[in-house]
Structure 1
Amino acid sequence: MSWKFDQAPNVACITCRSVIEGQPVLVATHYEDDDSWGFMDEAPANMTTALVVAMSEVVNRHPDLDEIASLPPGWSATRIAVGQPWLKKQDDWNSES
């Protein structure tokens, strides 16, 4: 399998324990400020389960992430389940929610 992401396999990314343990990645973020990546499940962000791991640790467990490897910095992709289409959107971190 060829590596499709813009960061090397050994570059750190943000994830959560449940993703490493096999839960599906349903939210992927390619951060604009430092070009890093985050891969999360559907649970709200929780610092007690957050991990910093090599990107390969997540991508090797979830090879379907290759589908969003070309996601530009400053964009996120979400899906409701594995096998469902990714919905991609440009992030606007400066807007009020």
Structure 2
Amino acid sequence: MGISKYVDKSKKSFPFSDTPNTAVITCTHIVDDKEPILFVSHDEDDGMWQFLCGREHSDDDAKIVSLKYVFELDHTIGLLKNLPCGYCAERESLNDKWRISQQ
């Protein structure tokens, strides 16, 4: 009984309906340089999440990590847990509100 209580509590802390180990795209600027997440997209064609810094990127900048990893870097992305496929969210800084738009 004690273990199931712990599991239920941990599920509540992870807000996404996707599993924590869902593969997502991010960039080296966020993973290596600790830049903030300023752009999020939930792709319409495949449902893939992208968490980016808002700068220009090359293929070499791409990283595949888990959704849980990105959530642990920045809990404010949890506010986007219901972002529909085909939409994106942007902000100017960590202190700004997300602006949501259709892709």
TM-score normalized with structure 2 length: 0.82
> What residue in structure 2 maps to residue 2 of structure 1?
13
Match of 2:76 in 1: 64
Q: CA RMSD in A?
A: 1.2
2:32 maps to 1:13? no
CA offset digits 1:39-94 (Å, max 9, x no partner): 00021122111111111111111111111111111100000000101110011xxx
Unaligned runs of 5+ in 2: 1-11
Distance 1:28 1:6 in 2: 16
Q: What are the ranges of 5 or more consecutive residues in structure 1 without an aligned counterpart? A: 92-97
Q: How many residues align?
A: 91
User: Per residue, is there more helix in 1 or in 2?
Assistant: 2
Give the aligned residue type for 2:46.
D
Aligned to 2:8: none
Question: Looking at CA atoms only, which structure, 1 or 2, has the larger radius of gyration?
Answer: 2
Instruction: Tell me the TM-score normalized by structure 1.
Output: 0.87
